[in-house]
Amino acid sequence: MSRFIVNSSKALSGEVCVSGSKNSALPILASCILTGGVSTIKNVPVLSDIEIMCTILSHLGCKINRVDDVITVDSSNVNCTAVPFELTGKIRASFLVAGPLLARFGRAEVSLPGGCTIGTRPVDLHLKGFSDLGAEHIIKDGSVSISCKELSGARICLDFPSVGATQNIIMAAVLTKGQTIIENCASEPEIVDLADFLNKCGANIKGAGTDKIVIDGTNSLKGCTHTIIPDRIEAGTLMVASAVTAGNVTLKNVNYSHLSSVISKLTEIGVCITEFGSDINIKCTMPVKTTSIKTMPFPGFPTDMQSQIAALFCFINGTSVITETIFENRFMYVPELIRMNADIKVDGRTAVINGKGGLVGAEVNATDLRAGAALVVAGLAAKGKTIINNADYLKRGYCNFEDKLKKLGADVIIEE
């Protein structure tokens, strides 16, 4: 079990380059199945979740070649349409191969990814979308078998703008005869990146980034070269880390518009944020003011930034309120922050944080990826040493996190 040791750090300063987006790279790698050719994906972060997706693609028959942040996927010899539990159980995003397999081969058998610490996370919206396109599914022994004679375009209205369901339905529909319209779909930047990739491969997807996507099915796709967008959650986490230490940090390779809601909240509490093209400078003089946030689908405040901002709120005198609307169990990090002397009360989907101007280091457990990031943020400004157990979670979503923080002057170290 690796541990992330964070000592109280001076103000972070300097510049660091943000890696490519994990949540964009995962569906784009899965969608390479659709092309039956060779795609080159650049700016792919080096993360364990990405490695697992590559293992799944290899299992299906894709040839994968990785050199640093460039992954080449040759899907011309895919010879398997089933993914066993050993692989799907490791990352939820494994279910994203279902749409491409169904579109290209008319069948997919994928072990259900199941819930995780942040919530039950069903895949009913994915399956409802496949069914609207004409597929049938059977759930047996924890696996779902999806099949169809032929898919045909349909009008699909999602009950909730699920990111994964939108991606899976797009991927199932691109090779489908006729027109598919997805309403109330997700509009996250990762959806736009997937549509951009598929359009370069020859797909005809319009409206990505809005709540209505129109796909005109095409007969075949070809591979292409694509560069993954910057990781907005890594950028947001580094912004909060910089703010909590009253730092002066420049993040390179960032898309400002992907971070509007986070920037708006940080600006509201008194953090100074300036955009220079694809760079963002964060300057903060503590103390800053309290505020309230509510997580929402994009362009609202991202649930994936909720725990990190909660850690920052612990250092601001007064009461801040966080309401989580996306996942039902995303306050698992709260007892860990309480070990560090935080005063936080959770009632259902709301957490009330009474900032008392600081925390003290303690031994804590990362309960999930973003919870781990929150504990790092807390540890940077807490008095003394914070030992974060289960640090492997951080490797799932933060590429070279230790090195990036060290480059900014943080006193951190990973113990394997």
Q: Which residues make up the interface to ligand UD1 (CB under 6 A)?
A: 23, 26, 92-93, 119, 121-126, 160, 162-165, 190, 303-304, 326-327
Closer residue to ligand UD1, CB minimum distance, 232 or 404: 232
Closer residue to ligand UD1, CB minimum distance, 108 or 381: 108
**Minimum distance of ligand UD1 from residue 411's CB (angstroms):** 28
Closest residue to ligand UD1, Cβ-based?
Answer: 164
Closer residue to ligand UD1, CB minimum distance, 5 or 370: 370
**Minimum distance of ligand UD1 from residue 30's CB (angstroms):** 10
- Give residues with Cβ within 8 angstroms of 403, minimum separation 6: none
- Give residues with Cβ within 8 angstroms of 45, minimum separation 6: 19, 20, 21, 22, 25, 69, 228, 231, 234, 399
**Minimum distance of ligand UD1 from residue 360's CB (angstroms):** 30
Query: Can you list the alpha helix ranges (DSSP code H) found in 222-300?
Result: 232-244, 260-269
Burial letters for 61-87: b for 16+ Cβ neighbours within 10 Å, e otherwise?
ebebeeeebebbbbbeebeebebebeb
d(CA 195, CA 93): 17
Residue 316 is classified by DSSP as S
Distance from the Cα of residue 63 to its chain's centroid: 25
**Minimum distance of ligand UD1 from residue 269's CB (angstroms):** 23
Of 378, 383, 409, 329, the closest CA to residue 4 belongs to: 378
* Residue 155: count of CB within 10 angstroms of its CB: 10
Q: Per the structure block, which two tokens stand in for 333?
A: 């990090």
**Minimum distance of ligand UD1 from residue 186's CB (angstroms):** 6
- Give residues with Cβ within 8 angstroms of 105, minimum separation 6: 78, 81
Closer residue to ligand UD1, CB minimum distance, 81 or 307: 307
For residue 314, indicate whether it is catalytic.
no
Q: Per the structure block, which two tokens stand in for 243?
A: 């703010």
Closer residue to ligand UD1, CB minimum distance, 119 or 335: 119
Closer residue to ligand UD1, CB minimum distance, 322 or 382: 322
Helix, strand, coil in percent for the chain, rounding step 5: 35, 30, 35
| Marked catalytic residue, from 32, 54, 62, 116 | 116
Closer residue to ligand UD1, CB minimum distance, 4 or 130: 130
Distance from the Cα of residue 255 to its chain's centroid: 15
**Minimum distance of ligand UD1 from residue 307's CB (angstroms):** 11
**Minimum distance of ligand UD1 from residue 354's CB (angstroms):** 26
Q: What angle do CA 157, 223, 54 make, to 5 degrees?
A: 80
State the residue for tokens 């579109």.
Answer: 103
Known catalytic residues are 116
